[in-house]
Amino acid sequence: MSASALVPYLQRAEEMSAISENLVAYYCRLYALEKGMRAEDRDDGLLGAIMSQLEKDKPTAGLSGSSEEDSRYCQTFAMKIFKSADRADKAGKASKKTAQAYYAAKLFMDICSHFGEETLPDKWGETKKYALWRSAEITKAIKEGRAPEPPPNDGEEGGSAERESFPPPPPPPADVPATAFPPPTIAAPAPAPQPTATPQPHIPPQQPPSTPVTPAPPMQPTRAPGPPPPVQLTNNAVRDAHKLARYAVGSIGLDAIDDAVEYLRQAIALL
């Protein structure tokens, strides 16, 4: 898994923010952050930008304070997108937008796993697989210049009659996901301004003082820093969050990814 796999989730987050679906946008970014922490080619700059955006979005994300309620909301939203595509597909009205909706629904179903696999409904994985398969099938038909053939309408969303028969879905083409909003870009930091040399006036040499000068006491050697102390939370939430974020970065350097994710979760929870 590479860091490029995060882009579809960040695109969905941008789209959801644009229509004020702030809770879904927040969990799209959080899922991307967790996924990116485990990427083989981690992009620490991108992950840091996602963390900053999560901190910025949290006050307006509409978090309920209950993971169960947030999970239910995200699942309902994902199924709303899926059912809309499924109805058009079975009615023989599939289009490129239908393929995009199926693919987006699959991504929204992905983020629900943030709350734990045990929170997902039965056949959730099969529905995701079906959505990705139909997205690829519709896109293939459109590229070949033929009308997409609707799936059997058995009265149940997701084509339960063919759950055991459809082949493993191929990766969707690059133009399947909706791209109404470009993926976020990370701006390079501006170079620090160089100090301008100021001409110094000529100062004539001073005569040595007539009275002896007492020498300054010798400086004590600086003590080498020891290992970082354990995290002790205080009432200053912002300072504590920064401390946890630094520990997360240190854990990344040690490839302790699970520890880094836990530090990040604690940091986000404080803000």
| pLDDT tens readout for residues 36-47 | 998 888 888 999
| pLDDT tens readout for residues 144-158 | 999 999 997 765 555
Each domain of the chain, given as residue ranges in start order, spans 1-63+236-271, 66-184
Mean pLDDT value of segment 181-186: 34
Q: Where are the alpha helices (DSSP H) in the chain?
A: 7-18, 22-37, 44-57, 67-90, 96-111, 124-143, 237-253, 257-270
- Number of other CB atoms surrounding residue 156 within 10 Å: 11
Tell me the residue ranges of DSSP E strands in 121-250. Answer: none
The residue among 179 and 85 whose pLDDT is bigger is 85
| pLDDT tens readout for residues 97-131 | 999 999 999 999 999 999 999 999 999 999 999 99
- In this model, does residue 161 exceed pLDDT 80? no
Domain 66-184 CATH superfamily: Vacuolar protein sorting-associated protein vta1 (1.25.40.270)
- In this model, does residue 217 exceed pLDDT 60? no
